[in-house]
Structure 1
């Protein structure tokens, strides 16, 4: 027994006492932070906070990491808690808040916190950086003069974050609704316009996406995200001259913001400008930028096509760690990689050639016009002219007239009939799929009635209301005649009259 006790005492003597506390985890977090391994740093700082939830230094460092991970809202919550409840003299929190709000595009709020830092810390570590930030904010504020109450600002952040998550998850129509409301509430909040343009582009509403983007550039000249988006839109439409014009402007841009540099690099990669893409994306990686899957995806591609194979493989390994299902799916091994795909509208052109359904042909012509693709429409014009397809030729002419200053021959009756589509588009409250079905129904009516002189297509509102009502009735949607009539500002008796005309022509 004595020998066993001695053995146990010897064993205990060999055990080194080890007490983990908040300071231990904080130091571990700092180590990873200095190595730019931000997710690990975040984890250890969080462990430190669990031991001491009221230590301002722990919280401030966690807020800094969260900001670098673009988790600005949570970072701001921590920083405000430090100032309001824990240490009102930790003035660097004002500087971090100013930076966070600047990244969010809330320039008035950023300027407020920057000025507070200058007031409270005239000899502070970040004084010169804050003065530089205020200079930049003065420029940005002159371009985007949004004055927000605190509650409005919080609402704006929440809505913007919600829309971003919906976009990332492919819920484009839901994201569009939020972004449209943001634009209505804040008419100079340019990032909402840019995100809405992306959502509309992915929904297939290319014409609307381009118009939104061009509006931003007209009102906020030089908006980098808008320029990048427009270049990508034109690229997928095959409008390479327009792309090169924008690329020439982007080549001389040198943004200071990391996210803008990432946007620029990813855009160059999407356009196949791999040298430019690699320069920006690799620079960001060297300086510790923690990008998302998309960042490493395009870094891997641009590195591969500029003969930096080791970096390409390292970047791709990061993609696989974030998305394990991508294992063994390197994009340069895939012949169908997005960069090598034909422009977006080529599939519409091929569908036009393959289908015998004239209503579908009309829809495809309409979508090509919406996409701004003059070349495909001109090719179709040659096809339908040689085949003596007069109805489709006239439709094609009208689509070309809407995109060019040419004067292709179109009868006034046909123009009146087509204007019903414009009315339906203006009153669009349906999903893209349903809207296109309604268009096809109208194309059938127009085809069957355009050569009948007894039918007048001038009352666009009534025809549009009638064709929508016929569709919703056939699909058994719970919408009444009165609701449709009110939507198009006509009487129910007029709706009944034109509904009968539509039924006769289907």
Structure 2
């Protein structure tokens, strides 16, 4: 064997050296764990730690496998080293040490570790389990459970928690303000930088998001969250080379923690690597004790995107059973019946979010326009899809989003609209509609906007001049109709007139018909409302009251009928 190797080298054959870095050994360790080869996993985790002794994740993995093998003392030695030499803020180490101490029947020491954990992480990931353990330890020790002392969080931790809550509830601009302030105080805080880049991305500022992520990776090249986010950003920017390079790295990555597995699986799916995403989601389902409905939905989406419809149906059915109040699995199961009968090129790719598709959300808002469903108002993914569409959608989509914003009408929407008005690359008529929405939601005046390529301040008395022409006419039609109806009809009729007209406008935002005579449309609207409520009224009589021809009223009624879906066969002839 030695001679053959020497001959090969002497003949000029290239020798390819394996890059035996920490990632290589980490991958081998995880594979060994999957095969229940704990001895090999331990060996590879030790080698990973030797390669990167300052990597807290590898150290915790080593402690975990030692604990699995019953080496509780040695496991705690590794965890103590993490806290003293690597990362003193990694509070979960105290919880792991408590488990090891309890396994060695060192109950008082386990109690000390649990108290320390709860004092640092009162609402941490393992807080509930730690409190249960304190109860059991107290029983073993024959006394009442000890209680952790209340320790106020450091200011930076409190701010970061607040920013994450803002992100999770869809208040992206508020999250940005807090995170930017934190970053000034702690410029090397990677978690803050990752969250700030996401906030920029959700609101459509991809360039700023990329700049921040690259700062993270310059100091921590192996930061999984940053690598995943950057790959998604590159895909959006059509940076094919950068995107492909990162995909190659991510597909070789085998994460150990469920949080990292979720992140990687979702990212691979977004990047179009659906087979790899499905394998990761399936592995997560096998690992989780009680997988949530959303996890089965992600697996179903990955299966669907690989055209494995039966696997997708299986996972959506499980999701439906687990989340019986949700419309999401039901929607996709119903759609699957249609998609299966389409040709492969007609089948749409599905998004990796546990929510209805964007177009379905808009339709739902149309159907329930009198009240915004709470899940739409509060869901950060849905809100971010609206913000994203306003920045990157086509004109028709942006018109729809502006209409939705009038319904949402909160401070976050106001901030987004004010920012939208200052964009030089947006069309003026869209900005004029945004001005109208700001006025309707009661945003404080005056407004700053870039119109006709110049920056200006628009005061209340100037606002009417800046509205789109079709909006000015709309207000005139509705005002004319309501004035004519107010003494003849009750409040329900007046409300229906506003709703039908609003629906009609929404249907014709991009092709609004020219209104030559306001009174003709006002008369048609009154007629439609009257017929809707069963009131006896002819087109001729309403035309006479508005001083227009009955033919004009009839023509406009036919346009409005398509919106309110009246049955023309039951109308009286005029």
- Give the shorter-chain TM-score range: 0.3 to 0.5
TM-score normalised per structure 1: 0.41
Q: Larger C-alpha radius of gyration, 1 or 2?
A: 2
TM-score normalised per structure 2: 0.37
- Report which of the two has the higher share of helix: 1
